[in-house]
């Protein structure tokens, strides 16, 4: 197995969806097959935007692209995709993070390897990039963001240093990373009510909801998330609300939700609040899955929060 850097543009003409599939031509087939079962880092090329390195994922399998000679699809292992908490710049102190992109004097190379859509990535460089994008102490950073001394984080206690791959597969760590990205994407505003509420300490009350749950092969992509208040998160997970095929109209199960509750909780106009960056908008396929598998299902026995 081998780790890779994969170039990805948000407006790619190919059928790329970073948390699901990567479309590539035959010249990269050998490298991609060698990476099956291992991790890759996504990288935005210079002409596409400023992000640099922006996410990790794991290659599950490689198969020919149906109906297109000479192109292949790398399928991403469900649940492996994780966006970086902070995008990692192409250069750190003027030097590339990849030796393959570096001249002997430390300056960036031009052309050649820089333009390859698929690049091999040594283990040490992979670890360095991930550590910059997903800090080891991300859970502590989040826990102390609004409370300098939260329970469980004693003063002077050093964070437990976990290997990179353990961090990438730990559900608590991934939940923190997902929550930070989704809430920031919506400006800490509830996507359904439009409200931005904070408690006395400044902590945002909005939560991060998976549109398609992780246990149902949903990913930790921001495009599989919605920022929701606690009550609306509860309603969304239980199929009382969803989002229509136009990706903006809020659907309500009116036979289960009283009309006065709808008026109090949902933004006037009944439209979903969009994230600040259009690239973070909910993916239509995730919303479709929720409509078809969750919306309108039989209510569980737990009581509704409106009594």
CA angle, residues 138, 169, 220, in degrees to nearest 5: 75
Domain spanning 4-133: which CATH class is it, in words? Answer: alpha beta
Tell me the pLDDT band of 150, cut-offs 50, 70 and 90: low
Secondary structure of residue 265 in the 3-state scheme: helix
Closest CA to 290 of 191, 206, 196, 150: 191
pLDDT of residue 46: 80
Secondary structure tally for the chain: helices H, strands E: 8, 13
**Mean of the per-residue pLDDT values of the chain:** 89
In this prediction, residues 99-114 reach a mean pLDDT of: 87
Supply 88's token pair: 């990692």
In this prediction, residues 241-268 reach a mean pLDDT of: 90
Number of Cβ within 10 Å of residue 292's Cβ equals 10
Parts of the chain belonging to CATH 3.10.590.10: 4-133
215 against 200, higher pLDDT = 215
In this prediction, residues 17-42 reach a mean pLDDT of: 96
For the question of whether the overall pTM of this predicted structure is more than 0.85, the answer is yes
Distance CA(132)–CA(56), nearest Å, equals: 12
């Amino acid at each position: 197995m081998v780790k890779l850097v994969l170039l990805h543009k948000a407006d790619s003409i190919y059928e790329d969806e970073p948390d699901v599939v990567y479309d590539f031509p035959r010249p990269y087939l050998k490298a991609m097959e060698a990476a099956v079962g291992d991790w890759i880092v996504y990288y935005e090329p210079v002409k596409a935007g400023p992000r640099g390195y922006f996410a990790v994922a794991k290659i599950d399998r490689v198969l020919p692209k149906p109906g297109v000679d000479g192109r292949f699809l790398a399928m991403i292992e469900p649940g492996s995709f994780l966006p970086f908490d902070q995008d990692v710049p192409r250069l750190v102190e003027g030097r590339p993070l990849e030796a393959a992109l570096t001249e002997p004097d430390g300056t960036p190379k031009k052309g050649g390897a820089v333009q390859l859509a698929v690049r091999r990535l040594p283990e040490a460089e992979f670890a360095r990039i991930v550590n910059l994008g997903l800090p080891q102490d991300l859970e502590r950073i989040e826990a102390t963001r609004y409370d300098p001394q939260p329970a469980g984080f004693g003063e002077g206690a050093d964070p437990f240093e976990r290997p990179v791959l353990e961090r990438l597969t730990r559900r608590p760590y991934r939940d923190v990373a997902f929550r930070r990205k989704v809430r920031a994407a919506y400006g800490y505003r509830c996507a359904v009510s439009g409200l931005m509420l904070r408690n006395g300490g400044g902590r945002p009350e909005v939560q991060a909801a998976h549109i398609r749950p992780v246990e149902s092969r949903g990913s930790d992509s921001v495009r599989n998330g919605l920022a929701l208040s606690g009550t609306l998160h509860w309603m969304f997970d239980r199929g009382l609300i969803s989002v229509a095929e136009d990706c903006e109209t809020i659907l309500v199960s009116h036979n289960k939700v009283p009309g006065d509750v709808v008026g109090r909780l949902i933004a006037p106009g009944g439209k979903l609040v969009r994230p600040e960056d259009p690239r973070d908008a909910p993916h239509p396929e995730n919303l479709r899955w929720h409509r078809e598998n969750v919306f309108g299902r039989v209510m569980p026995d737990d009581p509704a929060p409106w009594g």
